[in-house]
Structure formats: C-alpha cells, structure tokens
C-alpha cells in the first residue's frame, strides 16, 4: 500500500483556511489552494467543513465542488454531516470519499446506510483516538474503509496513539502530523496500519514534499514520489553540460517553450516538482515563474531515443512566454489548411461555438432557437436523437449511426451549455470511474 501525504484544507466563511487554529489565513478562492497543493504533489486533499449553519454548509459544498474540479488528486470531504443528504451532497461534488464524525452518534447511525448506498470504499470515519473506537468496532470494520485521526497532532504523534489505534482496530488510518524530522516520518509510514500523514506537516512543507518523499522511499517506506528512472549522468549533454528541454501543456499538448537544464536544474526539478532551468545568459539556475508567478508544475518528464533532449509535460500557470503569450511559438511562418480531427479539440471547439451562441445570440441560428425555446425543447431533442441512434443501430451501414451519434452529441452539448456542464467535468468524472 502506497502511503499518502495529504494536504488539509479547512473551509470557513467562504474561504480556505490553511491552519484551522488560525482562521485569519484565508484565501478567497479555495480552488486555487487545491490546485497549488495538487500541483506540488500532495497525494490527497482532506477538506474539513468548519461551517456552523446549514447556509454556511451549502456555501462550503459549493467550495468543495470547485476544489474537486481544480484538484488532480483524490479529495475527501469531512464535516457538518447531520443526515444522509449531507453525505450525498459531498460525494456528488465528485469527492472520492466522505468522512463521518464518529464522535457524533447520528454519524455512527448513518454508517450502514451510506456505506450500502455509496460503497464502503467511499466512506471514512474521523476519530479522536482509540477511545472513540471502543464499542464501535463492528460498525467500523463492516462499513468503514479508513480512519482519519483528528485532534491535536502533537498528542497523536507523541502519545502512543498509533499503537493504541492499531491495537483497537485493524483499519488503515491517516495520521495528523506536526513538523518532524524525515526519519521520524519515515518510521511512522513504515507501520502497517498507517495509511499516510496529513495536516500541518504537509501544508507547511508542501514545496519540499518531493524531497521528503524521496527520503522516505530511500528509507524503505512505500510512497508516491517522483522516482527519476534516469540520472542526469545517463543523459547526453552538449559541451557545456546542458540538455535542451521542450515544454508541453499536459492537457492540450500545446508546445509552450524550449529551455536548457544543467545537472543542478534537473535534480531541483525532480525533487521539487517545479520546472527549473539553467540560464545561459545569466549563468545561473532559475525557477520558471519565480518572479512572474507563472510557475510550471511538472506532470511528466521523458527523454528522446538518443537521451539528448527532454520533453516535460507541465501544468502552466499563466503565460509560458516572457512576452505574455501563452506559448513562445506564436510567430507563424506558414500554415496549410487542414481539418483538425483531434477528438477532444473538436468537442471543445464545438462546445465553445454553442456557448458563444448562448452568450452572443445570432439571428437565424438553430442553436439559439433551442436556447430560446428552453430546457423542455432541448430535452425533447436529446430524447429524439437517442431514439434515432437506436433505429440507426439496426442498420448494418455504419454511416447512418455515425451521423445520428453526431446529431446526438451536438444536442447533448447544447444541454451541457444550458446546465453549465463542461467537457472537462465529463472527462474528469469518467477518469474517476
């Protein structure tokens, strides 16, 4: 079992709190904090809803949905669960799991119902320690997949809680951790029931998380880290000890820029997860985005067949080019007309046209006719096109079904725009499945 380093996000008053003990540390956009932690290689986000009223809870559910959309790692939603509908709302945001508070009897009573409805793998339990497990072992073992220890991190770390919880229950558990030496962290992660650590340690050291993971991996703990399969010495450099790097957007595959790395820049990139290069003009290492804020977070790094060129797939924040352009490659020299049939680009382009019609109506547009008629007309057309697909499928000629599926997808996209659902929402949901 790979042990996780999870960042904790606390939702309070519409903002995201980095530390629940200091609620002045607010960010206006929780999704930005989620993207930051996700890009810097946290393995999971554990999101605690600190709201006190149902109105605040609804606001927190909206924030959780944005967090899930921004994150590329699993998200666990916790807090303010009073009834079955609260669990449903959390999981319907796209969160991969939901944690019940086992210090509350009403949450304990919910465990069987929500576990059977959504699956045991999606239901966790927050407990304050071994004392909260007593009398609840059978419920935990049957309906809960994992424990999340809450309370004072120092108490858990120093007070023998790990041994006590392990003795009380066989479930894996996440442990809140204060800042600690790498050796201490690794020792805890090597314990069988410890599923990972979260909270203060991860939040405070997020920019050094890869280095921490590398230490733990070298010490024998199973962690999700950047394990470089090639050392810099195995790559072929030029006479100055440099290797060129082509940088590509990991989602769109757009080529963004080209730069150079020396050994130090290569090792820093691998250990930090942020693209770091060597400037030939300044004769020094530089972190992309250090002054502009336009960081590049590494998703994948590979070498070509001769091992003399690198390809980095990144999440680009802002513009890659110093001119302010998204990509450095914007000076068109020539272009032949061609039909771009890349599936995702075609879907995105058609979706963009439909969305533009809704925002900027065009006289005589069939798309605007559907929007003007409203949701019932749109749903009627989606239903009709579904029927047409069924009829076409009885015909052995693939041309007819190809035509009908295209019609259906167009009308489905009109429905998506009408209801504010994007292709990224759909593809993320399919990827989660």
Domains and CATH numbers, the chain: 4-218 (3.20.20.70), 232-316 (3.10.20.810), 343-432 (1.10.287.1080)
Q: What residues form DSSP beta bridges with 312?
A: 247, 301
pLDDT at 27: 54
pLDDT at 21: 52
Spatial CA neighbour of 193 closest among 214, 228, 176, 169: 169
Residue 300: partners with Cβ closer than 8 Å, 6 or more residues away: 250, 312, 313
Q: Give, as one character, the DSSP assignment of residue 2.
A: P
Structure tokens of 391?
A: 């009829």
pLDDT at 224: 83
For the chain (433 residues), the mean pLDDT of every run of 10, in chain order, is 91 69 59 89 93 88 91 92 95 94 94 96 92 89 94 54 83 87 89 90 86 88 83 96 96 93 94 92 93 92 97 94 93 84 87 96 95 96 95 86 94 96 85 72
Rounded-to-integer distance, Cα 303 and Cα 244, Å? 10
Spatial CA neighbour of 241 closest among 268, 288, 278: 278
Place of tokens 């809704």: 358
Number of neighbouring beta carbons within 10 Å of residue 280: 12
- Angle ∠(146,148,151) on CA atoms, nearest 5: 160
pLDDT at 391: 93
pLDDT at 381: 96
Rounded-to-integer distance, Cα 237 and Cα 278, Å? 13
Rounded-to-integer distance, Cα 77 and Cα 200, Å? 18
Q: How many CA atoms lie within 13 A of 290 on its CB side?
A: 9
pLDDT at 13: 72
Rounded-to-integer distance, Cα 272 and Cα 208, Å? 6
pLDDT at 89: 95
Widest CA span in the chain: 74
At residue 269, what are phi and psi to the nearest 5 degrees? -60, -45
Cβ pair 212, 185 in contact under 8 A: yes
pLDDT at 158: 47
Give how far Cα 114 sits from Cα of 88, 96, 111, Å. 8, 14, 6
Give how far Cα 60 sits from Cα of 65, 178, 312, Å. 9, 26, 36
Cβ pair 114, 100 in contact under 8 A: yes
What number of H helices and E strands is found in the chain? 16, 16
Structure tokens of 32?
A: 């930005």
At residue 153, what are phi and psi to the nearest 5 degrees? -60, -40
Q: What residues form DSSP beta bridges with 287?
A: 276
pLDDT at 301: 96
Structure tokens of 3?
A: 């042990």
Q: What residues form DSSP beta bridges with 85?
A: none
At residue 146, what are phi and psi to the nearest 5 degrees? -160, 150
Rounded-to-integer distance, Cα 265 and Cα 284, Å? 9
- Angle ∠(6,8,9) on CA atoms, nearest 5: 140
Give the total residue count for the chain.
433
At residue 172, what are phi and psi to the nearest 5 degrees? -65, 150
Cβ pair 242, 250 in contact under 8 A: no
Per-position DSSP letters for 89-118, written without gaps between them: HHHHTT-SEEEEETTSHHHHHHHHHHHHHH
pLDDT at 14: 65
Rounded-to-integer distance, Cα 93 and Cα 233, Å? 46
């Amino acid at each position: 079992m790979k042990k996780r380093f999870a960042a904790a996000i606390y939702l309070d008053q519409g903002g995201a709190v980095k530390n629940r003990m200091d609620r002045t540390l607010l960010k206006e956009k929780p999704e930005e904090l989620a993207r930051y932690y996700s890009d810097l290689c946290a393995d999971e986000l554990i999101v605690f809803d600190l709201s006190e009223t149902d109105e605040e809870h609804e606001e927190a559910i909206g924030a959780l949905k944005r967090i899930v959309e921004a994150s590329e790692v699993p998200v666990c939603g916790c807090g303010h669960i009073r009834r079955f509908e609260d669990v449903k709302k959390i999981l319907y945001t796209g969160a991969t799991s939901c944690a019940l508070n086992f210090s509350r009897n009403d949450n304990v009573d919910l465990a069987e119902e929500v576990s059977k409805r959504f699956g045991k793998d999606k239901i966790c339990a927050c407990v304050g320690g071994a004392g909260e497990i007593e009398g609840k072992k059978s419920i935990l073992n049957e309906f809960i997949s994992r424990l999340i220890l809450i309370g004072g991190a120092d108490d858990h770390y120093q007070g023998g809680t790990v041994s006590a919880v392990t003795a009380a229950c066989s479930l894996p558990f996440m442990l809140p951790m204060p800042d600690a030496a790498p050796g201490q962290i690794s020792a805890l992660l090597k314990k069988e029931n410890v599923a990972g650590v979260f909270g203060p340690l991860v939040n405070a050291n997020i920019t050094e998380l890869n280095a921490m993971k590398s230490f733990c991996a070298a010490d024998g703990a199973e962690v999700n880290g950047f394990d470089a399969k090639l050392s810099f010495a195995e790559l072929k450099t030029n006479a100055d000890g440099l290797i060129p790097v082509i940088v590509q957007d990991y989602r769109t595959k757009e080529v963004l820029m080209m730069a150079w790395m020396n050994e130090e820049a290569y090792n820093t990139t691998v250990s930090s997860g942020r693209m770091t290069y060597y400037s030939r003009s300044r004769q020094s290492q530089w972190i992309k985005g250090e002054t502009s804020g336009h960081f590049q977070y590494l998703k994948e790094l590979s070498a070509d067949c001769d091992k003399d060129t690198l390809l980095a797939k990144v999440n680009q924040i802002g513009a890659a080019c110093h001119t302010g352009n998204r990509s450095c490659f914007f000076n068109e020299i020539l272009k032949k007309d061609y039909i771009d049939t890349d599936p995702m680009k075609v879907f995105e382009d058609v979706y963009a046209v439909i969305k533009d019609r809704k925002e900027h109506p065009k006289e005589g547009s069939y798309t605007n006719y559907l929007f003007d008629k409203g949701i019932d007309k749109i749903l009627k057309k989606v239903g009709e096109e579904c029927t047409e697909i069924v009829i076409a499928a009885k015909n052995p000629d693939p041309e007819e079904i190809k035509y009908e599926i295209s019609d259906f997808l167009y009308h489905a996209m009109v429905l998506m725009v009408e209801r504010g659902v994007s292709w990224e929402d759909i593809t993320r949901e399919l990827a989660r499945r």
